[in-house]
Amino acid sequence: MRRFHLLFHSVLSVSLCFLAACSSDVSLPVEEAVPLDLCAGGDALIQTSVTRADNLPEKAFDATVMLTTRKGDYSGLTAKYEGSHGVTVGTNGSVSWKLQSSVQPVYPETGSWLYAVAISPTGVSDGSGNVSYTLTGKEDLLYAPEIRGNKWDGDRFAGNTNSGYDKPLEFSHLLTRLQLKACKKQTGGLAVKITRVKVNEAENTVTLPLATGVPAFSGTKGLSLLPGEGSAGKEVPADGTAITLGDLLLPPLAAGHTYTLDVETSTGTYQDIPITFSGTSTDRMFQAGVSHEVTLKLSDNELGILSVKVTPWELVSVDDDLDLVP
């Protein structure tokens, strides 16, 4: 009996030593951190419509990408993997990080979903998931709706083995554009200088919910174009030649509504001139992503609208110096 007890004790000791040795040699696998890559636009880089501007601008621009682990919730953005990051969007759809440090954002190591939206000009969230801007009429406002991705090949935002699974940031215009021109109604008479064109109903503040991308406009009404070098005005020649005054980017209007203009000239100020359309459907006029060419006609003592037509939104200026509302 004593011999059996000693034998059992010896076997147990060897077994415990074996288990201890095995435990010291086994290590748990470390989850790989997969860097987060993005792309923009895809086929939307190509102009596909002469009336709507659902393509990207034709030059590189800066944007802010917001990342969250909570679908449709961009408040706070303080959890791990969340935050806002500056990027540069190239004309070929590339997206490069403008990192404050050398650390590139990564996907959650567990394989959980990460959600992203993007805005341009660059902006800062107010903590509740909104970004506000002050509009001057010179800047475009772009938004890319929510996409989702995770670390697994085929589910990533970009960089999948099969690029057909990539999910680009699809930017669209949130404003409408006026391209203003002017000419004399009849040849001869006086040359007239236009010094200011004011769009009376255009509000100058916009609040953009990151989750929806549906802007809310408010603030002071009246956005102005000051044509000419140094805003000194631009002369409309007496020979009837049409000149370009410049562009204004404005809040879109509900269907059936219109803008009115105040035009200051060297011969007087003309007020409350309605921008009216004729010979075409007005359903999409002054809608987001629609560009309009508006030609003013002047005589020596009166001013009106010669024509309004929808034109391609071919080139967009996104000014990174757009003022943020405190």
Tokens at 262, concatenated: 């105040």
Predicted pLDDT of residue 41: 79
CATH number for 282: 2.60.40.2630
Q: Is residue 15 part of a domain?
A: no
Compute the distance between CA of residue 131 and CA of residue 3 in angstroms, rounded to an integer: 82
Q: Count up the domains in the chain and report the number.
A: 2
- Size of the chain in residues: 326
Q: What value does the mean pLDDT take over residues 157-164?
A: 96
Give the up-direction half-sphere exposure of residue 207: CA atoms within 13 A in the CB hemisphere.
Answer: 9
192, 130: one domain: no
Predicted pLDDT of residue 188: 76
Q: Is residue 29 part of a domain?
A: no
Highest mean pLDDT among 207-216, 236-245, 290-299: 207-216
215, 253: one domain: yes
Q: Is residue 271 part of a domain?
A: yes
Contacts 24+ apart (CB under 8 A), 79-84: 80/108, 81/105, 81/106, 81/107, 81/108, 81/114, 84/124, 84/125
169, 47: one domain: yes
Per-residue pLDDT tens over the stretch 177-204 = 999 999 998 887 788 999 999 999 999 9
Predicted pLDDT of residue 54: 41
Question: 3-class SS at 149?
Answer: strand
168, 181: one domain: no
87, 203: one domain: no
Predicted pLDDT of residue 121: 94
Q: Residue 181 sits in which domain range?
A: 176-311
Nearest of 185, 164, 174, 287 to residue 236 by alpha carbon: 185
Which has more confidence, 319 or 241? 241
Specify whether the CB–CB gap between 309 and 181 falls below 8 A.
Answer: no
279, 163: one domain: no
220, 283: one domain: yes
The β-bridge partners of 95 are: 89
The β-bridge partners of 269 are: 264
Using the predicted structure, report yes or no on whether residue 249 has a pLDDT greater than 90: yes
Question: 3-class SS at 295?
Answer: strand
Q: What value does the mean pLDDT take over residues 268-276?
A: 93
How many other CB atoms sit within 10 Å of the CB of residue 317?
A: 12
Which has more confidence, 37 or 49? 37
The β-bridge partners of 88 are: 62, 96
Using the predicted structure, report yes or no on whether residue 282 has a pLDDT greater than 80: no
Predicted pLDDT of residue 142: 92
153, 257: one domain: no
Tokens at 273, concatenated: 């001139």
187, 298: one domain: yes
Range name among 96-110, 146-160, 195-209, 215-229 with the lowest pLDDT average: 96-110
186, 125: one domain: no
229, 273: one domain: yes
* pTM across the whole model: 0.83
The pLDDT confidence band at residue 43, using thresholds 50, 70 and 90, is: very low
Predicted pLDDT of residue 30: 56
Tokens at 232, concatenated: 């000194």
Give the up-direction half-sphere exposure of residue 230: CA atoms within 13 A in the CB hemisphere.
Answer: 1
How high does pLDDT run on average in the chain? 83
